[in-house]
């Protein structure tokens, strides 16, 4: 994907979510989720990746107003949290709600400046707008490489699923085949990949663990 095309995609994504935040405030609808309950369900899927390392550092790519930080702290996570979002208004809101500190920081951008133990991306692959499916899939694959590099021990992401009912799909959203996405991650990132699609939402979550580096 060319730099110009990627910049155009990121600009459109930032504008879309800035508009949602302006319309609905720091709520689940403000980051384009249906409600708080499903928002929390999505958060919980990532616990399988990080629940045994509560001091592990986390990068949240597409952090919105920082709701995942609050969720992590509520389940006992103590590690450093770095939130990234392409919409400046989201980062401004996250700072107002959660502040900066020794255990948290916020950045405007789509590519983390450093690495962490784990990298998470929730919801950033859903809204493709007018972008064609092939181009959007290319954007997803490039972003997965960013996540794979950013998360030293592993990473996780979610995508809307083609297993959902056709009459419930929206034309501006992207829906992926879960088996194809699983196969792609297995072929590119190794065998330690889990596909979760049993939590009652029209989407799936993929968790990838990197092999431990031997000293």
Instruction: Estimate to the nearest angstrom the gap between the alpha carbon of 198 and the chain centroid.
Output: 18
Q: Specify if 175 maps to a domain.
A: yes
How confident is the model at residue 63, as a pLDDT? Answer: 96
CATH of the domain at 178: 3.40.50.150
pLDDT, tens digit (0-9, with 9 covering 90-100), for 149-181: 999 999 999 999 998 788 888 899 999 999 999
Q: 79: burial class by Cβ within 10 Å (0-12, 13-18, 19+)?
A: middle
Q: Specify if 11 maps to a domain.
A: yes
Q: Specify if 115 maps to a domain.
A: yes
Q: Is the pLDDT of residue 199 over 50?
A: yes
Q: 116: burial class by Cβ within 10 Å (0-12, 13-18, 19+)?
A: buried
The b/e string for 135-165 (b: 16+ C-beta within 10 A; e otherwise) is ebbbbbeebbebbbebbbbbbbbbbbbbeee
* 3 state SS of 142: helix
Do you know the residue count of the chain? 215
Q: Is the pLDDT of residue 214 over 50?
A: no
Q: Specify if 214 maps to a domain.
A: no
Name the pLDDT band for 28 (thresholds 50, 70, 90).
confident
Number of folded domains that form the chain: 1
Q: Is the pLDDT of residue 120 over 50?
A: yes
Domain that holds residue 193: 3-209
Q: How far apart are CA 116 and CA 21, in angstroms?
A: 27
Three-state helix/strand/coil letters over 169-214: CCCCECEECHHHHHHHHHHHHCCCEEEECCCCCCEEEEEEECCCCC
> Which is it for the CA torsion 60, 37, 171, 17, positive or negative?
negative
Q: Is the pLDDT of residue 215 over 70?
A: no
Higher-confidence residue of 70 and 26: namely 70
Q: Specify if 215 maps to a domain.
A: no
How confident is the model at residue 1, as a pLDDT? Answer: 66
Q: Is the pLDDT of residue 79 over 90?
A: yes
Task: Yes or no: say if 115 and 149 are a contact pair by the CB < 8 Å rule.
Answer: yes
Quickly tell me which residue has 């996540």 as its tokens: 147
Q: Is the pLDDT of residue 75 over 70?
A: yes
Q: Specify if 185 maps to a domain.
A: yes
Q: Specify if 140 maps to a domain.
A: yes
How confident is the model at residue 160, as a pLDDT? Answer: 96
Q: How far apart are CA 35 and CA 69, in angstroms?
A: 18
Q: What does the pLDDT average to over 177-206?
A: 96
Name the pLDDT band for 18 (thresholds 50, 70, 90).
confident
Q: Specify if 64 maps to a domain.
A: yes
């Amino acid at each position: 994907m060319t730099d110009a095309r990627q910049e155009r995609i990121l600009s459109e994504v930032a504008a879309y979510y800035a508009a949602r935040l302006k319309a609905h405030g720091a709520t689940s609808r403000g980051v384009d989720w249906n409600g708080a309950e499903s928002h929390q369900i999505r958060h919980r899927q990532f616990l399988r990746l990080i629940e045994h390392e509560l001091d592990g550092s986390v990068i949240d790519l597409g952090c919105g107003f920082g709701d995942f930080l609050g969720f992590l702290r509520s389940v006992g996570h103590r590690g450093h949290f770095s939130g990234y979002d392409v919409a400046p208004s989201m980062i401004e809101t996250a700072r107002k709600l959660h502040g900066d500190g020794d255990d948290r920081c916020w950045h405007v951008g789509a590519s983390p400046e450093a690495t962490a133990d784990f990298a998470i991306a929730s919801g950033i692959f859903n809204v493709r707008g007018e972008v064609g499916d092939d181009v959007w899939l290319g954007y997803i694959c490039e972003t997965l490489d960013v996540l794979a590099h950013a998360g030293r021990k592993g990473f996780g992401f979610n995508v809307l699923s083609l297993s959902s009912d056709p009459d419930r799909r929206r034309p501006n959203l992207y829906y992926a085949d879960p088996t194809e996405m699983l196969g792609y991650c297995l072929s590119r990132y190794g065998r330690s990949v889990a596909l979760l699609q049993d939590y009652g939402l029209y989407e799936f979550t993929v968790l990838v663990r990197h092999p431990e580096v031997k000293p």
